[in-house]
A and B are shown apart, each in its own frame.
Chain A
Amino acid sequence: MRLYAFAIYLFLYAPIAIIALFSFSAGRSAVQMQGFSTEWYGKALSNTFVTEALQTSATVAFTSAVLASVFGTLAALGLQSVRGKVRTFFDALIYVAVMVPGIVIGIATLITLVTVFAWINPLLAAAWPFGEAPRLKMGYTSLIAAHTLFSMALVILILRARLAGMDRSLIEASSDLYAGPWGTFRQVTLPLLAPAILAGFLLSFTFSFDDFIIAFFVAGSETTLPIYIFSSIRRGVTPEINAIGTMVLVVSLTLLIVAQLTLRQGGRKAAG
């Protein structure tokens, strides 16, 4: 039993470890380590395609994670005092957002936005009062909007679980002590929710930073890091991809471990 568990952990982590190990190889061989060097990291970081893609990915991930955390937190709080049809409607939307495959979300967003933009752009050009009108096109905005959708559903799910597990007596105690609703919210609810919000933010960032399939459809002329990696893999395996891959893994692993720890510790505190 113990041995089996060990084998599974080996299966889960050995491939990642191999990538990381070979990213430090000085040669091009994928079988044999040929000396130790950080050459491929230098190559990757001085490649402008990589740095630009990294910048795009980081901007999109940060913006969509902020939007998802704010909108998701507000929605989770709002949903507490809603019953009936509105509640059912929101539950269904959250469920659909999580369950519909990313690829379907990707193509649906692509054809919708392209169609809508084709309508709006002539109107905008006609109505624009000064100079050349801006043209709406696929790019940062569509990437951020599409990632916000999934991340927001995720944040709502995490926060709802936290709100359900929260010790209500703290809130009752607060209003017994004559704190107003706003005071209770700011001094009791928000601090108790903070770890879950942070975890939601980190997960959203990781999701967006790692997402390939939705971005593949809605990125327009922009290139995110996963899109760059995918097209490089198509051209063949190189040690440079090992280095980029290792960096991406380190970023997401760090964020995920922080997210897990805050969520677990916060969970214990909130449950009293």
Chain B
Amino acid sequence: MQGQRLRTWLFLAPAGAVFLIMLVLPLVVVIVFAFGERAPAGGYAPGFTLEQFANLPARWKAFSNTLVMAPAGTALCLLAAYPLAYFLAVRASAQWRTLLLVLVIVPFWTSILIRSYAWIFILGGTGLPLLLQDLGFGAIRLINTPFAVLIGIVYGYLPLMVFPIYVSLEKLDKRLLEAADDLGSPPWRGFLQVTLPLSVPGVATGCMLVFILLMGEFLIPALLGGGKVFFVGNALVDLFLQSRNWPFGSAVAATLVAIMLITVTIYMRLIRRLGGGRDDISLM
């Protein structure tokens, strides 16, 4: 028995060490630095002050942009993903289902950098706008607008929304719909009263995943928003890599994570009250 315990600890030791050194320690450092002062040459000087947090309004625009665009992007993803998830779970034939599902998930794991670049190519001056101009629509600017950022968001995060909704719809007992049909209720009522409530856990999981990732987004606004539509992530890159203001940057990062945690907690409470547990977060 002693041997087995020793073995268990040996098995857990390397992973535990990586978690402690590369996750716990860095997060603690961010919190400590957030209360520190900026060294004259940039970087961190020890101290205990709330000055950095008092300075947060200086980056208000980044926070307000993120808090508008992240929910908007999540909602658009949901609107685009739900019908597809429904199609895959309820309508698609069994032999095609796996392939179609894999085709949805695979893009999510490929480089978001290159996928966003593809949209620079399409929405940029020599792409779609030039085509529209040739068709007589006048000069239209698409790149570096909130529209371009939202397209990039839906393109990047759609797969993450489809999967959890699919999982919850797949479990749907189709006999319930048949029963509703037999009892003479029209299809849209069957959908509203049977399908929709049963898919709530999947919708909740999908929205939460997309929302969390959007809160920390940097690449999509950097590439498709062109400095006009910037998120907290863009402010962080600026603070750490350009102005090297570590304590203020740490305060911004800590605030971002705090906002995320608070929103997610409130959200989960609400969903639980609305009924239905949470599906396991599974991406594969």
User: Do A and B bind?
Assistant: yes
> Does A44 belong to the interface (CB within 8 Å)?
no
> Does A65 belong to the interface (CB within 8 Å)?
no
Write out the residue numbers on chain A whose beta carbons fall within 8 Å of the beta carbon of B92.
5
Write out the residue numbers on chain A whose beta carbons fall within 8 Å of the beta carbon of B131.
31
Complex Cα–Cα for A81 and B88 (A):
38
Contact check, A212 vs B113: say whether CB atoms are below 8 A apart.
yes
For window 74-119 of B, CB contacts with A under 8 Å fall at: 80, 83-84, 86-88, 91-92, 98, 100, 102-107, 109-115, 117-119
Write out the residue numbers on chain A whose beta carbons fall within 8 Å of the beta carbon of B53.
none
> Does A198 belong to the interface (CB within 8 Å)?
no
Quote the shortest CB–CB distance from B24 to chain A (angstroms): 7
Contact check, B257 vs A104: say whether CB atoms are below 8 A apart.
yes
Q: Which of B12, B43, B159 has the most CB of A within 10 A?
A: B12
Say which one of A124-132, A169-177, A253-261 lies at the interface with B.
A253-261
Q: How many contacting A-B pairs (Cβ < 8 A)? A: 233
Beta-carbon contacts of A241-272 to B below 8 Å, as 1s and 0s? 11001001100110011001001100000000
> Does B26 belong to the interface (CB within 8 Å)?
yes
Contact check, A93 vs B284: say whether CB atoms are below 8 A apart.
no
Contact check, A260 vs B241: say whether CB atoms are below 8 A apart.
no
Contact check, A100 vs B27: say whether CB atoms are below 8 A apart.
yes
Contact check, B124 vs A12: say whether CB atoms are below 8 A apart.
no
Partner of B12, one of A9, A78, A245: A78
Q: What secondary structure prevails in chain A residues at the interface with B?
A: helix
Beta-carbon contacts of B17-42 to A below 8 Å, as 1s and 0s? 01101111111011001000000000
Contact check, A111 vs B87: say whether CB atoms are below 8 A apart.
no
> Does A233 belong to the interface (CB within 8 Å)?
yes
Complex Cα–Cα for A230 and B159 (A):
23
| With contact pairs A19-B118, A79-B12 given, residues A217 and B30 touching in the complex (Cβ less than 8 Å) | no
> Does A148 belong to the interface (CB within 8 Å)?
yes
Complex Cα–Cα for A206 and B112 (A):
12
Write out the residue numbers on chain A whose beta carbons fall within 8 Å of the beta carbon of B124.
30, 237
Residue contacts A-B, CB under 8 angstroms, 28 given: A4-B83, A4-B84, A5-B83, A15-B118, A16-B107, A16-B118, A71-B18, A74-B10, A75-B11, A75-B16, A77-B11, A78-B8, A90-B12, A90-B15, A101-B216, A101-B257, A101-B260, A107-B250, A148-B22, A152-B18, A161-B284, A210-B109, A210-B110, A210-B112, A213-B219, A245-B114, A248-B114, A252-B111
Partner-B contacts on A (CB < 8 A): 1-2, 4-5, 8-9, 11-13, 15-16, 18-19, 22, 29-31, 70-72, 74-75, 77-79, 81-82, 86, 90, 93, 96-97, 99-105, 107-112, 114-115, 145-146, 148-149, 152, 156, 158, 161, 199, 203, 206-207, 210, 212-213, 216-217, 226, 229-230, 233, 237, 241-242, 245, 248-249, 252-253, 256-257, 260, 263-264
